[in-house]
Chain A
Amino acid sequence: MKKSVFINGIGAVTTQGVWRTEFFSEARVLDHAITSAEQPSYKGLISPGAIRRMSRGMKMGIYAAQQALAEAAVTTPDAIITGTGLGCSEDSDKFLHSLWENDEQFLTPTSFIQSTHNTVAAQIALQLCCKGYNVTHVNGASSFESALLDTLLLLASGECKNVLLGGVDEVAEQTYAFLQAAGYIKEDGIQETVKNSVSPGINYAEGAHFFSMGASKTASSYAEIIDTTLQNELEVSETTSFLKDFLSTNDLRPDDLDAVILGYNGDEQDDLFYSAIQQTLPSGTPLYYKHLSGQFDSCSAFGLAAAAFILKYQTVPPIMYWNEKNPAKTTWKNILIYNQYKGKDHSLVFVRAC
């Protein structure tokens, strides 16, 4: 018997600040090529020495994880599963830089140690003394959904009762400069939003989003995650069958979806995929979030947090509406999240009110 999976707590460090009730009402639309996450104070949570030594990704991850666990009143989860596209780039950059600068001499190990992709999940395990299952998934734009899939497997099979699931990606100067040089990120100085983007490239950012996932519904539950699916690549014309297969696996009709959260990011080619899905689901209210989160590999976790927020509070933050005019709805039950990047790493996540 397949068991249910609930989001029982959320934590986040983002360009919109940390996760809180006013998260969406206070949100502002990003209009810079690269926006860093607003950093909270880490005092009290992380030792002063560690604050200096740790990269932003590690700190943001530890903060968001703690927030999610606290909300769900979970002390030690049974497993920690994270997703990250670029891993600990800040430390990778640092080590690579000193490798170049010093021609393989006088290297110190700290940045190398912290450069492995699993550093954040490992640090959280260390902090929580969590000896359970611990895996980091690193697959571009579906890194977070890969971690989510892993989480669903653990909870649905009954192997675990509580899983800490997270997505983390950080702005690293050199790595982002390379992505900018290659045209993935907009040029410095350009001020465009997702909606009014005309120049090539995308507004990038960073963030950590954590979810305390449980096999039981609790007083703090936001929503139930029913299913997710991943697909490495698709043509725009194949998105409809990809969607329909997923809906039929979950006994859903297109009309059952109240809202669809799309990953519109202002890139002309990317947005073709989202509008194709949007057109297949005419009765689902289209919503978007990358104008608030910015683009990065695990940014779709922001989309999941948004879905959870809508289902828990039964209200859609106005800033998330893609269309100007929307049908008046008072109840929100089924939400679908669709994400991909450059035609690769497609994912669908189906979330339901609980």
Chain B
Amino acid sequence: MISEGIAVTGIGIISSIGNTVEENLYALQAGKHGLSRIANFPTRLQERIWVGEIKRSNEELADKLELSSPHAFTRTSLLGAFAARQALKSANINDVNQLRTGFISSTSVGGMDYTERYGSTYLISSEWHRYIPSHPAGDSSHKIAKYLGVKGLVTTVSTACSSAANAVMMGARLIHAGRLDRVIVGGTDALSKFTINGFHSLLILSDEPCQPFDNQRKGLNLGEGAAYLVLESQKTVKQQGKHVLAYLTGYGNANDAFHQTASSDDGEGAFLAMQKALTVAQLGPQEIDYVNVHGTATPNNDLSEGRAMQRIFKNKIPSFSSTKSFTGHALAAAGAIEAVYSILALQQGLVFPNLHFDTPMEELDMIPQTTVQHRSASHVLSNSFGFGGNCSSLIFSKA
């Protein structure tokens, strides 16, 4: 049981709607989504899907990071380093090893974007061999940690689309246990042929900009991006007189134990994750002011998540929206991107719109927030669910 929250003192983000926290906030307020046709690599699916792609090449990202060539940063590592650097800066941390500082990242793609590009040459030429050790998920965390100068507890979580939420949770629990003073947590994933084709083969990609919680929703849009939060213990915050952006007050993880890729009809895993998060935060459902839903816009997810929300909130469903209608679904990074948006919602007193919504779902009496809503919020719940039944919920509270 948690008696006091963990302080969030820094945030950093790169997504298809902006390269900084400010740009992301501007786009969310202006209702400007980042969905487009894929441009960074050739694919047969180019004209068939929409993606939340970051219109910056790997070379541009590496330049921004001042990496010297040749390096073996994959796009996942580049995006991660880009966002994590911002988070440290926002938390005013100059000497990253001054306190016991950890780095817990998450990814699902890892270095697959380079393996799919160069893998077919590996056994005939050594030209691109430097990317072979970049393939495993953990390599991106190593590269980002080294880039930030973190020396200590560095690890990586991968629970498909709920990965970053679990990285945030793991970091918070390490601080609560007194093992760390502060920790940089989040996730990063790049678009790759592997994932777009994987989701395409599952027939859950929409050929239009996605419509979360709409009766006509046709599936999801994949996205890419990275986001990190700096979590600090209350003690560190007090000692250093740090400015607190928000508090992480609740978290819950549960498994749907229903199907490898589909969610249960009654959203059992989602229900349990939200319930646990509320218990940890010692909050009643009615105290949640806004839910940043997982809302992938697949027929299955939104119905299951909606039912789980009805079970939690009964007939008093708070304002909710899926910001995946802006960014697409950035897989392992989604939980961190949406954690940043949840914190912005608290700071700015805003509920961000759920774009492209038209018709309420016939099974549920639930309508998402479709325009920017100005309202002060004390507690925001953020949901992240993934393949394998992995369901996680985070609660952020106003500083």
Contact = CB atoms under 8 A, between A and B. Distances in A.
A178 interface: yes
A37 B194 CA distance: 28
Contacts, number: 204
Contact of B135 (A103, A105, A178): A178
Given A96-B194, A136-B159, A182-B129, A86 B387 contact: no
A13 B294 CA distance: 37
- Interface majority SS (helix, strand, loop, mixed), chain A: mixed
5 contacts: A112-B198, A130-B257, A132-B255, A138-B158, A174-B119
Contact of B151 (A99, A121, A122, A232): A232
A157 B44 CA distance: 51
A140 B269 contact: no
A138 B135 CA distance: 12
A236 interface: no
A10 to B, nearest CB: 23
Interface residues of B, number: 69
Contact of A118 (B123, B198, B387): B387
B126 A181 contact: yes
A159 B138 CA distance: 27
Contacts of A129: 257
Contact of A153 (B126, B173, B253): B173
A132 B132 contact: no
A93 B200 CA distance: 18
Nearest to A128: B257
Interface stretch (B58-66, B139-147, B338-346): B139-147
Interface string B381-399: 0000011111000000000
A126 B389 contact: yes
B118 to A, nearest CB: 10
A142 B136 CA distance: 13
Contacts of B150: 232
A95 B196 CA distance: 12
Interface residues of A, number: 65
B6 interface: no
B348 interface: no
Contact of A137 (B120, B155, B194, B269): B155
A345 interface: yes
Interface stretch (B108-116, B209-217, B309-317): B108-116
Interface stretch (B26-34, B218-226, B235-243, B258-266): B258-266
Given A109-B201, A116-B108, A137 B156 contact: yes
B40 interface: no
A122 B257 CA distance: 7
B156 A121 contact: no
A118 B136 contact: no
A339 to B, nearest CB: 14
Contacts of A128: 257
B367 interface: no
A344 B133 CA distance: 12
Given A113-B260, A135-B166, A125 B136 contact: no
A140 B257 contact: no
Contacts of B137: 87, 117, 138-139
Nearest to A117: B158
Contacts of B253: 133-135
Top 7 nearest A-B pairs by Cβ distance? A122-B388, A112-B198, A232-B154, A117-B158, A139-B138, A140-B138, A182-B132
